[in-house]
Amino acid sequence: MNPRKKIIAANWKMFKDLAEANEFFKLLIEKIPNTKTQLLIAPSFTNLWHAFEATREFPVEIIAQNVHQENQGAFTGEISAAMLKSVGIKTVIIGHSERREYFGEDDTLLKAKVKTALKNDMKVIFCIGEKLEQRKANTHFNLVKNQLQSALFDLEKSDWNQIVLAYEPVWAIGTGETASPEQAQEMHLFIRKEIVAKFGEEIANQISILYGGSVKPNNAKSLFSQPDIDGGLVGGASLEVDSFIDIIKAV
């Protein structure tokens, strides 16, 4: 039996204003399938409170796309873990490649963000993944290993029940190009083995590792049927209720 939680997480990035988010929830609530899969949606900060209220009665958790590494302070434009929690948010995405690439978030900063989130009793979806040139140069395994080690390998064993990993090859994000199920499985297995080596079988076998990067209704099933892929982190295809639901049904 696979003891791991299956998860589909929607990352809305900088899409959907309040009216659009409302419309989505209205439709989702009509059509949401009965499933054991854990469903997460990460809207923009401005929609968090409303989204939390709108989905209160439904098996959907609203999560955040980012958090600051300090608990409070003079950091114009930033949002703290306590602020997120005060509007009902208990989970945050950290390490997304767009944050790394466009906002200069490096391993040291990401490690600090993870620590802060955990200290505030939040769960973390931590993203890792290589760029195309790294895959071409065959350095992708090393790169992913480094990303894992630098942010997560000095955690306590007990912290790991607060962590979900997402392997997102950067070359597959928003490009329409997906890792093949075999490429994704190969990396997920590699990640799990690294966790076995550092933290042991028990933790490695309970951690959910999501795949992200152009997950669509037509490729979701072949990805999710791989033994080490425990669901998906979905960008573009999560913005439409029908495709989001088709992906949920593919788990």
Q: Give me the residues that bind ligand PGA (CB under 6 A), please.
A: 11, 168, 173-174, 212-215, 233-237
Residues labelled catalytic: 96, 168
Give strand pairing partners of 92. Answer: 64, 124
Q: What stretches of 23-122 adopt beta strand conformation (E)?
A: 38-42, 60-62, 91-94
- Residue partners of 197: CB distance under 8 A and separation at least 6: none
- Closer CB to ligand PGA, residue 43 or residue 213? 213
- Closer CB to ligand PGA, residue 140 or residue 199? 140
Reduce the DSSP state of residue 161 to 3 states and report it. Answer: helix
CB 233 to ligand PGA: min, Å:
4
CB 235 to ligand PGA: min, Å:
2
Is-contact 95 147, C-beta < 8 A?
A: yes
CB 173 to ligand PGA: min, Å:
4
- Closer CB to ligand PGA, residue 174 or residue 200? 174
Residue nearest to ligand PGA (CB): 235
Alpha carbons within 13 A on the beta-carbon side of 155:
27
Query: How would DSSP label each residue in 222-244?
Result: HHHTSTT--EEEESGGGSSHHHH
- Closer CB to ligand PGA, residue 95 or residue 152? 95
Q: Which amino acid, residue 147? A: Q
CB 157 to ligand PGA: min, Å:
27
The H-assigned helical ranges of 103-163 are 107-119, 132-136, 140-152
